[in-house]
Structure formats: C-alpha cells, structure tokens
Amino acid sequence: MLCRLLAAPMRSSLLATRAPVVATRMYASAALNKKTPAEAQEILKEAEAVCFDVDSTVITKEGIDELAAYLKCGDEVAALTKAAMDGGMPFHEAIEKRLKIFGNAGFSQAKLAQMLADEPIEEAISPGLADLVAALQSKGKRVFLVSGGFRQMINPIAAILNVPETDIYANSFLFDSSGTFTGHDKDEPTSRAGGKAKVVATLKAKYGYKKVVMVGDGATDLEARLVEGGADAFIGYGAVAERAAVKADACWYLYDFKDMVAAL
C-alpha cells in the first residue's frame, strides 16, 4: 500500500501533454499578450496572491538535482532538468525519466531523510527572498509555493518562510510501507506541463482572487499566464538560471528580489 510522507493539498485536473513545438507556440502567444514591466509592477501592488516557483527561484539550487548528486546520478538527471526548464522536453516526460534513474540508484525514504539531514535544502534560500515574502505577507498578500519539485523537500523551506503546507502545490514522492520508492503521485497538477497554470486558475476560482502574480525562472513558470484564468503577470527571475526564452517573454525580468520589495 502506497503512503505519503505528507498529505497533498487539493488537486485540480491535469492539462494535456505539450510537445516542444507546442511550447514554442505558447512562447509566441506570450509575447503577444505580455504586460510591460510597469504594468507588471502595478499588478504586483494590486495582487491578492503571489505564487513562487521553488527551484532556482526561492532557492539557489534545483532540489531534484541535489538529490540526484547525493544518489550519485547527478549529471544524467541535471541534463533532463535543464531540458524541461528550457522548454525542450515535456515536463511529465522529464520527471518520469529522472525518477526512473532514482529508482535504479536505490532511492528510498531513508535515503531522502538522510540527504535532507546532511544537506539542509532550506539553507539555500535565495538572497532577499525571505524579506520579499515577509513584505508581501505584511501587505496582506498570500504567498504560495508552486513547484515541479517535491513537497518532502519543500516543506522545510516553507516553514522558514512562514508559508503553511496547505499553500504548497508540488509533486509527491511515494514509498511503500517498508520505505521503498515506488514512484510519484501522477494526480498532482504540477506533475505535467501546464500544471502551474492550472494551479493558479484553481486558486483564483477557489479564493476569488482578481489578480495573481507568478514568479519563476523556467518555462513551466512562464506557462502560468498562458491559460484563461491564469496568472495576470509573470515576473522572471534570472539570478540563478537565465533562460533566453523566459527572459524574452517575461512581463518583468529581474535579478534581485529587492526590486520587487521596492515596487510594493
């Protein structure tokens, strides 16, 4: 019987799989509809909620790559991560391939716990991010962590940022009763391309938000404003990983979270 380390939040339906050529068309559409930096800053001021990607945004690392390195399969997994974040591979395909590598490397619940104890992922929080989250919360804006990473690795980060676990939308590792790795929860919306957009749309429908901003570094973050009811503005963050297509189509692109604090 499968078990989770932590319960998952409410899930939304999954978007259809997108091939790389579809992602290219989505970028073209984004360029036509994107807001200016000034408009994005105004939306940020008015937004009731701000959604943050985690890997290479909230933290200075890619969590799944750090886990892969710990399991001694880092290079192969890192190449797949880059392909997914650059928009060159459907996200669900990249996640399946990476987790297959994990299984072959002997991944288990015990190894995950040991890795998190040996290399606390929360120590990699990006400069200025904690201050930004505190500033947003002080103005009554709700902060969500929306990630293609795994909640077991994100929970410690959320605790430091005072983001409740119910406001995390991410994937989940699955283990059996003996702690053997059995896969991931495929019903999580962020397990597929377009999932972050669906999360944003779900949050707006659930809470009645009029304005929601998405912040991140990758192709899956940019997607969050490409569906009806999705993010009203996308702010790209390039201090950790600069991706040309994302930079080109972001409403506002920055390298220092202090810029967002100043815009509030």
| Reduced 3-state DSSP string for 117-175 | HHCCHHHHECCCHHHHHHHHHHCCCEEEEEEEEEHHHHHHHHHHHCCCHHHEEEECEEE
Q: How far apart are CA 254 and CA 5, in angstroms?
A: 35
Q: Find the largest Cα–Cα distance for the chain.
A: 53
Residues 103-136 have pLDDT tens digits of 999 999 999 999 999 999 999 999 999 999 999 9
Tokens 């990473």 — which residue?
A: 149
Tens-place pLDDT, residues 152-196: 999 999 999 999 999 999 999 999 999 999 999 999 999 888 899
- In single-letter form, the type of residue at position 234 comes to F
**How far apart (Å, rounded) are the C-alpha atoms in residues 71 and 94?**
18
221 belongs to the catalytic site? no
What is the per-residue pLDDT for 23?
A: 43
CA distance 195 to 147: 9
Q: Which of 55, 65, 221, 249 is flagged as catalytic?
A: 55
Q: CA angle 195-199-203, nearest 5°? A: 170
Q: Exposed, middle or buried: residue 228 (CB in 10 Å: 0-12, 13-18, 19+)?
A: exposed
Q: Which overall architecture, per CATH, does domain 22-61+123-263 show? A: 3-Layer(aba) Sandwich (3.40)
Question: What does DSSP assign to residue 257?
Answer: T
b/e sequence 19-55, b meaning 16+ C-beta within 10 Å: eeeebeebbeebeeebbebeebbebbeebbbbbbbbb
- Check if 185 is active-site: no
Which one has a higher pLDDT value, 20 or 77? 77
- What is the C-alpha to C-alpha distance for residues 19 and 224, in angstroms, rounded to an integer? 17
The confidence score (pLDDT) of residue 15 equals 35
Q: Is the pLDDT of residue 2 over 60?
A: no
Model pLDDT, residue 11:
36
Cα–Cα distance, 57 to 118 (Å, whole number):
22
Domains in the chain: boundaries: 22-61+123-263
Place 80 in a pLDDT band, splitting at 50, 70 and 90: confident
